[in-house]
A and B are shown apart, each in its own frame.
Chain A
């Protein structure tokens, strides 16, 4: 038996851990671009596009006038008033975990708690820009430790599946948003290699989902092809951050396991997840580009949000 509140806490705990890790990657990439010589920095607004991908434009605008590197990093890393900053995400993940620690294995709880203990001891001014890469690396490692503890020690039952549903819904949302902010650089533009600026943008996009090396193994091209980059992140079933991969987990694994365990029949959340899964499984890039990549991605983000709401209703989240 699982309380509705416990299920909600597990779902959001996993979601916020995933969010912290994704945020670390996003900042890492933006920071890397900021170190490039000027000509490669095509757009003045690299930092504002990071804000957009992180869905933090509104909270940022409330506090700052200009999207300078310093301001954006401050807002995305340590700002307590930004609910999606790395610090806030870690705190929310840990507080959710703390509220339901009876539902967590000791290893999972310890990984969460130790991370928060270290992070909460960190002062703003201790994070100078030379320390930033190390810090972001540490955040990724802690998130991976958490995931590892979960995979290695959690009983495969409803509580675990709610965590997995949360993590993959967050991951799908993250990949879709990153793509949507940069969709224009992926649009087909006749033959021929892209400019060096284009190549730089494609590489960064892949990097922000830790996929620039994997891409080489998945596609044999000597250089990045925007078509393939999009295919890789949306429809490649082997790529663990692609939308298809995420939905395979959400629909065919997490939610269907819960459905089976409970035997209460198919609820609207299952229907939505299955529909999105079918949509991805039957899609091909040609059609997606024909109908509009941006339209496809915004539709996906909406469906994904609706799924969260439906899961909350189906399982009595408070």
Chain B
């Protein structure tokens, strides 16, 4: 782990230019100053109810995500490159989904196997032939990116369904501006607080063509017990649209309405934060009580826009992921700017043999898993854990993919022992509607434990404010 890329310091210990002022400032701060600021931040978050729920723990079901008060900084030039890479990839992902549900040119061209799509759980046959407004399927994409070198970025995962975390990005910034106004005065940090406005513009721009006049948008949440409920409420509030549950919506005479204290109000765009499966009990899971009966039919009829589109998950499937270099090249005609992590599909016999042989070096993930559950991080796992995982893997190999462990970059982080480097990843958010809108920076997650590479908040990871400096 010694040769990880340190985002603040050069190999010789000198400070990289983007961090120059921050480094100087850090030297003037005592651990007790910083500890006091952390307590202040936590009490703000707690009071505001910025929490997330942890599944499976009855006690303290609402927890704070640990917040690290040392920002992560990107220079303008670094960000420009990243942004170009994200835009390229996000464009390709939407083109891919459109193709998957129409002519499947990419299969005909022999770039990806047909089975990978048609046999995929994330493929929704009900979507075949449907063209949503502006042919956009995944309007909000959160791309998980890690850094291993000065100009080396790898995409770990594309989140094309209902990516979360954007409220932390915004609240972390608010907290930092409250706690350290002097730091902002010294840096030219690109603002991000207009994200909700951009989201609202994106939603408005994909209203169904049949909608005349100002579109009515809503945020559809599963309810207060969902782990990301805070974010749903936050975004609805910031955008000035209604936060609704399935009960509040109904379909009548081919249109979608919400129940108000007066007469029903027609709804044009649904930013849903519930999974495809729960969206419509008439089309998908019949036991779902979270969704809206009949919404899918009127969606297909072009009378409402669902954001992100049902079936968009085909693009972030972990098995499809391994074909991303081909996918990017096929639709953009360019070489991918961001790297893909080499991936072994365990469904393949030769790959499985390799993975079983090298379990100690690899990260093995469930194809459909998320949140850092059900994965093995070979280098940090105990012998016993590796042995147990070997059995699981042998039983259902098609359920898993494996990747080499990357030497994740680290950023200065305030921990018990003081300021120390900790591994980070990055989730920037790209919005696609009438045009693409990418917010500078994103949501940085940090593994608070020394040496740990698992940054998921459900596994004890924390967050950091992410700064993109302007030239």
Contact = CB atoms under 8 A, between A and B. Distances in A.
B223 A99 contact: yes
Contact of B237 (A2, A102, A113): A102
Nearest to B233: A101
A98 B245 CA distance: 13
Contacts of B48: 106, 109-110, 113
B46 interface: yes
B261 A98 contact: no
A113 B259 contact: no
Interface string A84-116: 000000000001001111100010011001100
B24 interface: no
B262 A262 contact: yes
A178 B471 CA distance: 70
Contact of A3 (B47, B49, B223, B244): B244
Contacts of A6: 242
A316 interface: yes
Q: Which among A3, A258, A264 has the greatest number of chain B C-beta atoms within 10 A?
A: A3
Nearest to A116: B49
B236 interface: yes
Interface string A40-77: 00000000000000000000000000000000000000
B233 A102 contact: yes
B47 A114 contact: yes
Contacts of A102: 233, 236-237, 242-243
Contacts of B261: 2-4, 7, 158, 162, 258, 262, 315-316
Nearest to B244: A3
A5 interface: yes
B189 to A, nearest CB: 25
A315 B259 CA distance: 9
Contact of B248 (A5, A114, A262, A264): A5
A298 interface: no
A204 to B, nearest CB: 37
A1 interface: yes
A99 B260 contact: no
A141 interface: no
A12 B265 CA distance: 23
A6 B218 CA distance: 14
Given A99-B224, A114-B47, A2 B243 contact: no
Contacts of B224: 95, 98-99
A98 B242 contact: no
A5 B221 CA distance: 13
A4 B264 CA distance: 10
Interface in A256-298: 258, 262, 264
Contacts of A4: 248, 259-261
Contacts of B47: 110, 113-114, 117
Contacts of B307: none
Contacts of B242: 1, 3, 6, 102
Contacts of B447: none
Interface string A17-29: 0000000000000
A1 B265 contact: yes
Contact of B49 (A1, A113, A162, A262): A113
Interface string B221-250: 001100001000100110000111101100
A148 interface: no
A1 B258 CA distance: 10
A277 B350 CA distance: 82
Given A109-B49, A113-B49, A3 B233 contact: no
Interface string A161-185: 0100000000000000000000000
Contacts of A7: 261
B49 A98 contact: yes
A101 B248 contact: no
Given A95-B224, A99-B223, A158-B261, 15 more contacts: A2-B260, A3-B248, A3-B258, A3-B259, A6-B242, A98-B49, A98-B229, A98-B233, A100-B243, A101-B233, A102-B236, A110-B48, A113-B49, A316-B259, A316-B261
22 contacts: A1-B242, A1-B262, A1-B265, A2-B260, A3-B242, A3-B248, A3-B261, A4-B248, A4-B261, A5-B244, A99-B223, A101-B233, A102-B236, A102-B242, A110-B47, A113-B47, A113-B49, A117-B47, A162-B261, A262-B261, A318-B247, A318-B259
Give me the 7 closest cross-chain CB pairs, A-B, nearest first: A102-B237, A315-B261, A4-B259, A113-B49, A2-B261, A7-B261, A316-B259
